[in-house]
Structure 1
Amino acid sequence: MNLLGPAEIRDLAEMLDVTPTKKLGQNFVVDANTVRKIVKVANVEAGDAVIEIGPGLGSLTLGLLEAEARVVAVEIDSRLAEQLPKTVAALAPEAELTVVHQDALKVTELPLEPTRLVANLPYNISVPVLLHLLEHFDSLTSGVVMVQAEVGHRLAAEPGSKIYGSPSVKAEWYGNWRIAGTVSRQVFWPVPNVDSVLVGFERREDQIGTLEERALTFALVDAAFGQRRKMLRQSLGQVLGGADVATERLEAAGIAPTARGEALTVHDFLGVARAHLSAVGK
């Protein structure tokens, strides 16, 4: 299959009167080798049900279809959503593609149950999109996404690291994350002013907590990293009902009240949430 190159990408954009915008986080991949690298790193196999977010003009979409995956592509831009099936019909008429014209942050149902997420995510909303999809689609077991390097390293950061934060802990709730590769700025149009990385994940086989526990855990995480210089007895007090209550819950979970958020794993935060829910009779 012929994948899209720089000339084809620009021709399509001109035909559709599309100018990549920072608002939508659009940077189109124009290098076929990079596309095939992403598909290979994601271990996409024939028959896989893959969800792609922000397919744009179809560079990665065609790479996924070349691997004989079944693809559902979610695109917010109406011009791109309308054109993508036409592009695929011309270059890969036998491929199985479904295009959903919708905001990825609002998608809760799809025509197929995706098992893999493979996408060049819009950089301005990459973390919210990831967390939204993992929350609403339990069928997702693995994936590889291209994100801004700073964001990717935060997602894969370990406790105690300077870059470990709220995205690190929330991502850990769902599974294990790793940096799976780097991507040159030169493979994009327009060329971004930031570096990019591939981030891979494998979903946990079993959920580590209930929906109620997750909601409180995430609230605690936000509080801890919203005031990361403060000790947990102070930062978590606003969620748990004061510093004294926070101290009790932390001690019940076996965590020093003087610790700070960057020292805790997702299981530690979950322990505090469970201690609180138990204490209030929930």
Structure 2
Amino acid sequence: MKHSELAELLSRLGITPSRALGQNFLTDENFLDFICREAAPAEGDRILEVGPGLGVLTTRLLASGAQVTAVELDGKLASWLRTTLVPRGLRLIEGDACRVDIPSIFGPETPFRLISNLPYSAGTVVVARMLDLLTPPSDMLVLLQKEVALRLAAEPGTPDYSALSVRIQASYDVTLPRKTVPPALFHPRPEVDSSLVKMTLREPCEPQDFRLFLARFVRAAVAHRRKKMFRQLTSMADPDKLRNAMDRTGVDPETRAERVSPEQFVAMAKILRDQTSFARE
């Protein structure tokens, strides 16, 4: 759909794209096809799409025979989808993906995939929520603000490396099939570049209780980015046990958390998870 055609349709529907909601509609047909090739949806796949907008990606996913559930916050867009795509098999939930009960959509133990052009305003929260589920998505292919995407894929010791980098990479293999997606492919044009991020869950997946503990542990470790990790954590763990855990995982007590790999964080968390000070967080 061309920019002019999309603008005309939005005007006809009485919809003004909201910057607050991060609404930037993807218009480039070639790039939409590229997303679908990367996603390779198959008949019977359970797919969650957040922020379907006018349904340009949704239509392609449904054509594969996948079972698509879309969560849309905007009431006017939801009304459009209810008229155009629900009769073609779309399951629509009108609500906020940052708050909707995700386990109730497919069932807490049912595998599903996340494939979305995520709204800029909700991208980080949605991805982080997926990590806390009993059964996280088997894979995620999402279009995000480039700044966020680079954090997800960042390596230790780089400026973009963060707690979210550790949490994602502890469970998923992360790649950027399209590192830079220019503003010209959207309506309205955002002020920043986007990136297409692909995350594939590694098996076996760590249990939910451990992933939740890891999140607390990592947040504590990186709370003050420039502080040495040992000093950062001594108020929350027995210093001797902490030093032992760091020694066993090859982490120098004098290093900063920004230089510790996801694998080292996971190994340390497994050693220290019985520390009640962390468990009470």
- Normalised-by-shorter TM-score class: 0.7 to 0.9
The aligned counterpart of 1:269 is 265
Q: 1:82 to 1:248 in 2, by over 3 A?
A: same
Report the AA paired with residue 168 of structure 1.
S
Asked whether the equivalents of residues 27 and 192 of structure 1 are also in contact (C-alpha less than 8 Å), the reply is yes
Asked whether the equivalents of residues 9 and 57 of structure 1 are also in contact (C-alpha less than 8 Å), the reply is no
Asked whether the equivalents of residues 237 and 275 of structure 2 are also in contact (C-alpha less than 8 Å), the reply is no
Q: 1:191 to 1:163 in 2, by over 3 A?
A: same
- Normalised by the length of structure 2, the TM-score is 0.86
The aligned counterpart of 2:202 is 204
The aligned counterpart of 1:216 is 213
2:91 corresponds to which of 98, 101, 112: 98
The aligned counterpart of 2:11 is 14
Number of aligned residue pairs: give it: 273
Q: 1:251 to 1:111 in 2, by over 3 A?
A: closer
The aligned counterpart of 1:229 is 226
- Residue by residue over 1:118-157, the C-alpha shift from the partner in whole angstroms, topping out at 9 and shown as x without a partner, is 1011112212201212432626212310001121111112
1:110 corresponds to which of 89, 94, 105: 105
Asked whether the equivalents of residues 234 and 246 of structure 1 are also in contact (C-alpha less than 8 Å), the reply is no
Quote the offset at 1:224 in angstroms: 2.6
Inter-partner Cα distance in structure 2 for 1:96 and 1:144: 21
Structure 1 window deviating more from structure 2 (45-54 vs 20-29): it is 45-54
| SS of residue paired to 1:270 | helix
Inter-partner Cα distance in structure 2 for 1:214 and 1:47: 28
| SS of residue paired to 1:123 | coil
The aligned counterpart of 1:194 is 192
Inter-partner Cα distance in structure 1 for 2:89 and 2:134: 20
Report the AA paired with residue 246 of structure 2.
L
Q: 1:239 to 1:58 in 2, by over 3 A?
A: farther
The aligned counterpart of 1:166 is 163
| SS of residue paired to 2:85 | helix
The aligned counterpart of 1:50 is 47
- Residue by residue over 1:156-211, the C-alpha shift from the partner in whole angstroms, topping out at 9 and shown as x without a partner, is 12223332211110111221111111322111111011111100011112123x43
Asked whether the equivalents of residues 71 and 92 of structure 2 are also in contact (C-alpha less than 8 Å), the reply is yes
| SS of residue paired to 1:240 | coil
Asked whether the equivalents of residues 220 and 239 of structure 1 are also in contact (C-alpha less than 8 Å), the reply is no
Indicate the percent of aligned positions where both proteins have the same amino acid.
Answer: 33
1:81 pairs with 2:74: no
- Normalised by the length of structure 1, the TM-score is 0.86
Inter-partner Cα distance in structure 2 for 1:176 and 1:51: 19
The aligned counterpart of 1:184 is 182
Asked whether the equivalents of residues 134 and 208 of structure 2 are also in contact (C-alpha less than 8 Å), the reply is no
| SS of residue paired to 1:198 | strand
Unaligned stretches of 5+ residues in structure 2 = none
Unaligned stretches of 5+ residues in structure 1 = none
The aligned counterpart of 2:62 is 65
Report the AA paired with residue 270 of structure 2.
R
